[in-house]
Amino acid sequence: QVQLVESGGGSVQAGGTLRLSCVVNGPGFADFAVAWIRQGPGKEREGVSCVSFTGDHKYYDDAVKGRFTISRDNSKNTVHLQMNSLKSEDSAMYYCAATNRICTLWDLERYTYWGQGTQVIVSS
């Protein structure tokens, strides 16, 4: 059974930083592409960033490109999202999700496993 556990959310002022972590418990981590997906108040879910199985390929939504960095450590079954220069519009619940398919920021239905989420609040 695969379980994803996020941590690292919190409240920060605009311009601040946070580092989110996602630990994937269970077999087959190296076979998963992992994404960070967020949902703000009254908004639909949106893919923020994803990383391929090996970590060689990384993708970012235009809204976060240049500010967020995704990384994975296959030896620790962990994926991180470093978030710099945070803006109020980044406020959302952030979920990590895993798929055995190629990572994507648009077809969120392909993500089979989801964590419970970690809240990020950015005040201006």
Per-residue pLDDT of the chain (124 residues; tens, 9 = 90+): 899 999 999 999 999 999 999 999 988 899 999 999 999 999 999 999 999 999 999 999 999 999 999 999 999 999 999 999 999 999 999 999 999 999 999 999 999 999 999 999 999 9
User: Which residue type does 89 have?
Assistant: E
**In this structure, what are the phi and psi dihedrals at residue 71, rounded to the nearest 5 degrees?**
-150, 160
Cβ–Cβ under 8 Å, residues 103 and 35: yes
Report the chain's terminal Cα–Cα distance, integer Å: 40
Q: Is 115 helix (H, G, I), strand (E, B) or coil?
A: coil
Cβ–Cβ under 8 Å, residues 60 and 47: no
**In this structure, what are the phi and psi dihedrals at residue 90, rounded to the nearest 5 degrees?**
-80, -10
Q: Is 30 helix (H, G, I), strand (E, B) or coil?
A: helix
Cβ–Cβ under 8 Å, residues 92 and 27: no
Q: Is 31 helix (H, G, I), strand (E, B) or coil?
A: helix
Tokens of 11: 């409240």
Distance CA 17, CA 4 (A): 23
